[in-house]
Amino acid sequence: MQQMQNLQTLHNDALVIGVDVGGTKIAAGVVDNQGNVAGRIQVPTDTSSPEDTLRSIAASVKRVLHDAGSNAERISAIGLGIPGMVDPVKGMSLLAVNLGWRNVSVKDWLERELGLPCSIENDVSAATLGESLYGVGKQQEYMVYLSLGTGIAARAIIHGQLYRGAHGMAGEVGHVVIDPSGPLCRCGAKGCLEALAAGPALAQAALRELQSGKASSLQEYQAADLRAEHVFEAAVHNDALALQILQKAGLQLAYGICLLVMGYDPQLVVIGGGLASEQSPLIASIRAGIEQWRTRAPVFHAMLNVDAIRVSGLQGDAGIVGAAALVAAQRKIVL
Amino acid sequence: MQQMQNLQTLHNDALVIGVDVGGTKIAAGVVDNQGNVAGRIQVPTDTSSPEDTLRSIAASVKRVLHDAGSNAERISAIGLGIPGMVDPVKGMSLLAVNLGWRNVSVKDWLERELGLPCSIENDVSAATLGESLYGVGKQQEYMVYLSLGTGIAARAIIHGQLYRGAHGMAGEVGHVVIDPSGPLCRCGAKGCLEALAAGPALAQAALRELQSGKASSLQEYQAADLRAEHVFEAAVHNDALALQILQKAGLQLAYGICLLVMGYDPQLVVIGGGLASEQSPLIASIRAGIEQWRTRAPVFHAMLNVDAIRVSGLQGDAGIVGAAALVAAQRKIVL
């Protein structure tokens, strides 16, 4: 009964289910029109086939509806954040590499299956919207949201609205080539920011150094188990290798932020995604990197105050809240 | 009487004087509401003091008014494009390094002196607006204009309007650091795109190579006389050194275009400014550079069609037309 009690605390109007679709798990919850979340659940993503993945999404929504009990009738719509290229007007996923999707009619399928209207958008776009409506970016005219996780991408709020560009790809800073001699990115280019500084890249950088004989507390991990979070933990305990990896990544991510600031001249840059928390040593490294770039580049210094770099306050809920926010926002987005 | 006859050809409504203020010369002309220009003049810029520069601007406007004869009474306003940071609401130049200006009340001074309402904006912003209203960017929802001259800067059209950002600096790609070990930029950073690939940088690159003993037809020029245009001419005649310099600059400028495309996801990128003409070997080098980046970076390839790179058709008039366009547009710009 705890979920139902939670739902009772939500604002009475316009309840929506927000669904954050990832390559390994799907998170969903009920969101009210003030960004409050209740009845959070999580299910594994079945990527055996596009239809199986759609069934996983439908299962997540059905579980939320079931947990909501008699409150389910207050839920009027579903919003979904999906990785990759999305056409929100047609309700299609055009390309989602880690789901194995290409031209999948997500909206039609789910609306038939669930009997509720669905809105879909790119997951980072959804999180950006959530951050601008309910997070630290509230009431900012010009905001950039940088998502750091297994991938890296950014989106911008311009004149208070999500900015998509011609293909919904505006802000794809993760696939800017930063180091042409760097590691191969899953996009096919070499040395993209994502291939250098996203979660898997940090773990791989540690592995390469360990294999070349560097001493580190990270040696205790099997190669297949080593994750970015272990690098963070080692850095907190002053492991020299971990600190060196995060220092380099921090400078590269700060450069990515320079690029975003040059493009959008924002009032605020919000860092979110799975790797972002105020206490994370990665955030400390990014802040140090920003300081270095501000010293090196006077124009960047003039355009960005240090206070203008903030960490998302929505944390794990950003994806769910943002996806739910799509339902109302898509009536306003200029596509 | 030729100027007056020219003016007779202009569309009858809303004649405006457009003024393009540069560090060495001021260009002005009469523009109608369809972007036609007549009565073009040019005067040298006196930068002895801020007031002397304002007097040069006023002199350019007075000469256009004088040349217009009885048509002068059809002119209702003045638009000015000014280098550097501009506050169009206060009508002030906040900072213009090559004019020696800081916090100069341009609008008030000129309105007192000339008795006509003045609109001011950054010069590249003005040219971007002109290109989007009357040039190859006509009716494009999402356009980027990249200005190549003694400086490098870009501005974007978003939802059909000039995008300024929080400080009017959105698009300052000229001051993105591309090569941290590169030459010092006038902004104070090392290896900015502008310090590597703007006009003076191309001439300096040629000089450095000549001084290190490289053979080239450019040897005939005195160091102080060598300009980017000479490098272009030598390249047209297959001078190996000139070709090598332009190949490198083309790749760097193409990288700058990648950054702009990542940020704005535009339908069209327009290259303008003093160094841009369809026949220029620099443009050929940029197109070759774009092809290289499209091959290297699949996401950039997906976001930008080669046909989406165009050279400004307004040529020398872009600054004047854009400045004139400010008058009408500033009522619409969201600041």
pLDDT value, residue B24: 85
- Chain A residues in contact with B258 by the CB 8 A cut-off are 176-177
- How many other C-beta atoms lie within 10 A of the C-beta of residue B103? 12
Cβ-defined contact of B164 to A260 (cutoff 8 Å): no
Q: Look up residue A5 and give its two tokens.
A: 């009690």
Whether A170 has its CB under 8 Å from any CB of chain B: the answer is yes
- Chain B residues in contact with A172 by the CB 8 A cut-off are 262, 265, 299, 303
- Chain B residues in contact with A265 by the CB 8 A cut-off are 164-172
pLDDT value, residue A11: 67
* CA B257/CA B175 separation, integer angstroms: 13
Residue B53 has pLDDT above 70, yes or no: yes
CATH no., domain A136-312: 3.30.420.40
- Chain B residues in contact with A141 by the CB 8 A cut-off are 166
- Please tell me which residue of chain A has the smallest CA distance to B258: A176
Domains A2-129+317-329 and A136-312 are alike in CATH topology: yes
Cβ-defined contact of A265 to B297 (cutoff 8 Å): no
Whether A335 has its CB under 8 Å from any CB of chain B: the answer is no
Q: Looking at residues B132-138, what average pLDDT do you find?
A: 92
Best residue in A86, A122, A176, A192 to probe B by mutation, most B CBs within 10 Å?
A: A176
Residue A155 has pLDDT above 50, yes or no: yes
Place of tokens 């490289």: B214
* Whole-Å CA distances, B24 to A168, B50, B98, B317: 42, 14, 9, 17
**What value does the mean pLDDT of chain B take?**
92
- Chain A residues in contact with B175 by the CB 8 A cut-off are 262, 297, 299-300
Q: Which of B127, B130, B7 is CA-nearest to residue B65?
A: B7
Place of tokens 């069934």: A55
Query: pLDDT tens-digit profile of A161-198?
Result: 999 999 999 999 999 999 999 999 988 999 999 999 99
- Please tell me which residue of chain A has the smallest CA distance to B192: A297
Cβ-defined contact of B299 to A172 (cutoff 8 Å): yes
Residues 63-122 of B with CB under 8 A from A: none
What string of H, E and C letters represents the secondary structure of B159-186? Answer: CCEEECCCCCCCCCHHHCECCCCCCECC
Q: Read off the amino acid at residue B84.
A: G
Where along chain B do its domains lie? 2-129+317-329, 139-312
Q: Look up residue A305 and give its two tokens.
A: 């105050």
Whether B137 has its CB under 8 Å from any CB of chain A: the answer is no
pLDDT value, residue B332: 59
The alpha carbon torsion through A58, A62, A64, A70 (nearest 10 deg) reads: 150
- How many other C-beta atoms lie within 10 A of the C-beta of residue A187? 21
CATH no., domain B2-129+317-329: 3.30.420.40
Query: pLDDT tens-digit profile of A300-315?
Result: 999 998 899 999 988 7
Cβ-defined contact of B187 to A299 (cutoff 8 Å): yes
Q: Is the pTM here over 0.90, yes or no?
A: yes
pLDDT value, residue A61: 97
- Chain B residues in contact with A175 by the CB 8 A cut-off are 262, 297, 299-300
- Please tell me which residue of chain A has the smallest CA distance to B173: A262
Residues 142-161 of A with CB under 8 A from B: 142, 158-159
For residue B101, the cross-strand partners are B96
Q: Looking at residues B167-178, what average pLDDT do you find?
A: 95
- Please tell me which residue of chain B has the smallest CA distance to A260: B263
Best residue in B194, B258, B265, B335 to probe A by mutation, most A CBs within 10 Å?
A: B265
Q: Are B112 and B124 in contact (CB under 8 A)?
A: no
Cβ-defined contact of B159 to A300 (cutoff 8 Å): no
* CA B243/CA A141 separation, integer angstroms: 45
- Please tell me which residue of chain B has the smallest CA distance to A144: B263
Cβ-defined contact of A263 to B263 (cutoff 8 Å): yes
Q: Which of A59, A66, A63, A68 is CA-nearest to residue A31?
A: A68
pLDDT value, residue B12: 61
Whether B292 has its CB under 8 Å from any CB of chain A: the answer is no
pLDDT value, residue A201: 97
Q: SS3 for B188?
A: coil
Q: Which of B324, B244, B333 is CA-nearest to residue B285?
A: B244
**For B16, phi and psi rounded to 5 degrees?**
-140, 145
- Chain B residues in contact with A255 by the CB 8 A cut-off are 177
Residues 238-257 of A with CB under 8 A from B: 255
Of A171, A177, A303, the CB nearest to B296: A177
Cβ-defined contact of A266 to B165 (cutoff 8 Å): yes
Residue B313 has pLDDT above 90, yes or no: no
Size of interface A-B (CB pairs under 8 A): 129
Cβ-defined contact of B262 to A298 (cutoff 8 Å): no
Q: Are B3 and B10 in contact (CB under 8 A)?
A: no
Q: SS3 for A69?
A: helix
Residue B333 has pLDDT above 70, yes or no: no
- Chain B residues in contact with A258 by the CB 8 A cut-off are 176-177
Cβ-defined contact of A262 to B158 (cutoff 8 Å): no
Pick the range with the lowest mean pLDDT from A94-98, A185-189, A223-227, A241-245. A94-98
DSSP strand pairing (A152-158 vs A143-148): antiparallel
pLDDT value, residue A331: 65
Q: What is the ipTM of this complex?
A: 0.92
* CA A293/CA A306 separation, integer angstroms: 11
> Residue B206 is inside which H or E element, if any?
helix B199-211
- CATH ID of B139-312, from 1.10.1060.10, 3.40.640.10, 2.40.30.30, 3.30.420.40: 3.30.420.40
pLDDT value, residue B331: 65
Q: Following DSSP, what letter does each residue of A84-141 receive, concatenated?
A: SEEETTTTEEEEEGGGTEEEE-HHHHHHHHHSS-EEEEEHHHHHHHHHHHHSTTTT-S
Distance between B266 CA and the closest CA of chain A, angstroms: 6
pLDDT value, residue B296: 94
pLDDT band at A248 (very low <50, low <70, confident <90, very high): very high
